[in-house]
Amino acid sequence: MAKEKDNVVNDDEIINEEVLNSDNIDEEEGEDVLKEDLDETEQLKNSLAILQADFMNFKNRIEKEKSQSIALANEGLILKLLPILDDLERGYEHKQESNEFTEGIKIIIDNFKEVLSREGLEEIKSNNMPFDHNLHQAILMEPSDEYDSGTIMETFQKGYKLNNKVIRPSMVKVSE
């Protein structure tokens, strides 16, 4: 009987060991599942962050394209209006006398320039300036004792920049 008690105790110990081992297995499996859930959560967070960044980049790109489209539309219209401004200025420069009519033309020219300026148009300075092939187009080159070499002597047609982009270079005469 004593042996039987020992066997029973041994059987109980074996059962307890199996329970403990099975608990350890469940804990290990639980830790693995928890690690997998954490990994999956991190992956989802990373994916969400990437999607948010992609969306912000997309939104910024669309806004930039929209503003460029508006600027390009304005550029085409302004290029069509510049010859009218040139004609008005030439007419005003060749006036015979100053009277109410010519002063009215001057007011129209000033208003026209102001509206174009608000849209980002800027006149390129040229007379007595050093020649810059990015801003000016040399029509004539002429030797001069009065001007340094490479200096603009005369402007035949004004040049303009729209939002810092040259849309029409100045046509000029340059000293050699």
CA-to-CA separations, 162 to 66, 70, 76, 166, 168, in angstroms, rounded: 17, 12, 11, 6, 9
What is the CATH classification number for the domain harbouring 175? Answer: 2.30.22.10
Q: Could you report the per-residue pLDDT of 26-80, keeping only the tens digit for each?
A: 566 667 767 777 788 888 999 999 999 999 999 999 999 988 787 777 888 999 9
Q: Could you report the per-residue pLDDT of 85-119, keeping only the tens digit for each?
A: 999 999 998 888 888 988 999 999 999 999 999 98
Is residue 92 situated within a structural domain? no
For 143, the domain range is 122-176
Total domain count, the chain: 1
Is residue 154 situated within a structural domain? yes
| Whether the predicted model's global pTM rises above the 0.85 cut | no
Fill in the amino acid letter for 127: N
Is residue 134 situated within a structural domain? yes
